[in-house]
Chains A and B, each alone.
Chain A
Amino acid sequence: MSNAATTTGRAPSVYVPSAEALATVLAPGARPPRPSALSASLTFGWRALLKIKHVPEQLFDVTAFPIIMVLMFTYLFGGALADSPRDYLQFFLPGIMVTSVVMITMYTGVGLNTDIEKGVFDRFRTLPVWRPAALVGMIFGDVLRYVLAALVILGVGLALGFRPDGGLLGVLAGIGLLVVFSFAFSWVWTFFGLILRSEKSVMGVSMMVLFPLTFLSNVFVDPGTMPGWLQAFVKANPITHLVAAVRATMAGSSDPTKTMWLLLWSAGFVVVFGTLTMYRYNRR
């Protein structure tokens, strides 16, 4: 181990522990009351923000990746599936926004998997705070990334000619639905992040789930042309409900049935995978 001098690059005064100084900081104040579940979760969310501040490169996947997705598919399919890329975009933008953001949710699992291998989680798990707070806070941080990705896509879409009938309110409400679903869906990845051994296997599993889930949906084309068995899958796919709900909201109408399904799916993900996640987290 190097000493302080080589690490800091300036001559440090050697630290001599002083019994008096230590005694002052050891003097027990009254123990503050435990923070509430929300306050603890927000504090962990603050940690996620600090990590973004210190490692801003991690925002690459919520900025560059979505831009590439929009450009690629708009020009790849636009001419073939609609009269022009611009026409296709009116249909396609809400879908590609959902696809990109839902794909980004997998980084929650990858991040947790690498984070939890470090000693700091040992400390978090020995704190007398609401148990899920560390994970909820982590996902709060990710929600910020989802919002960012959605806004980037919206910006690219607007630049390419996306003109939603729902106006600003409709678009924001659509993004709101997407973020609610993504928050809930993230719990799938926290669970996989905990049970799988390596970052790579988390990635692998995520891709295996996300590709069929996003492509076998109504994101790219109208499911009407698909074979019956595939239509059945597409109909049951939560991504289909999400895209339908977001599309309707951004178009200024609303799809109450799909929105209800979407919220049910979201609640289901939190209940089932949130419980599984906490079970694994506590038993690690």
Chain B
Amino acid sequence: MPSICLYLHLHQPWRYQKYSIFDVAKTSNYWYEKDYYGKQNNERIFKKVAEKSYHPMLDLIEKNLRKYPEFKISLSISGTWIEQAEEWDPSLIIQLSRMISTGRVEIVGETYYHSLAFFEDKAEFKEQVRKHSDTIARLFGVRPRVLRNTELAYSDEVGVWASQIGYTAVLAEGAEKVLGKKSPNNVYIAEGTSGLKLLLRNYRLSDDIAFRFADKTSKDYPLTVDKYFAKLKKEKGDVINLFMDFETFGENIWKSTGIFEFMNELIYKIVKEGNFMTVSEEAYFCKPAGAISMPKTVTWADKERDLSAWFGNDLQKEATRVLYDLLPLARSQGGDVYDDWRRLSTSDHVYYMSTKYWSDGDVHAYFSPFDSPYDAFMYFMNVVRDLEYRLHN
């Protein structure tokens, strides 16, 4: 049976509050909603997710690391997550640090601000990746060797960039439109590079857990470890990449569904009958099965697997344009105003403005702290107006 590479992504954005046009040029409090129970209150949301997901899942992982020397996992942790953990629940950082020191938890590199700056401003992108790497080094004493771009957004250009900086591998979506008949369970060489590895998410098996575990209409429901393990065993290739959001466990899929017991048992089963790999091990040990090219950007979102969830409509394009128009000035001034600019570059903000499925009330709406994509846009623009005012005064 192929090895298993389990990779989980920890991230929380700094949600801007319902910032009124009448606050512009008066107060610049974007991130701290006064009402604790407000929908945009970052502290409340972080503490809630910490209780439901970060604590129980990290405990589960740490316990298994102690029990089984064969168990390994890869994590990515956004800078905005780290800032909020430091502010509201520093014990999470301490626990992560303890886990990373076992040498069996690998940290994947990414932009500090969870941004899509790669597609707007390469210099800013590079700075954000460097800031993330520095932060990880400062807190945990390691530097990421493998990169993921935000939302797993990948194109050949991303590969070339990562290879030039010195990364050994990049994570990407194993989308059918790219793979054709090729399997996501092999490592590939990124087209245009001299040996950068592409690690591709097995979306069917990842989504069996992340999307379908609690879905009563799914044909595998209820998903047992035996059933799932049998599926893993049937797969061909060298390694199965199970890439998921960390919040899947406990936040998106509630504890009451038995998701934690499932993961606990699954880890045991794989330790006993299979083999875990981290992303770097995968890049090092698995023999490439050829090269793969992605001329167009592929992401892990929606059925389109492209950037349309972030830049699909004119609101998103306008918000992005207006924000990046201010970048040169923000960068040259630095300090708080630059930090605020960068927090606004987080991809979640434009995701909330997506109108793709708004009328059907789909996943975009579910994750948004705003009443509608239009509200998200309106308040974003108010914040940007204030930012612009600060830059000119």
A complexed with B? no
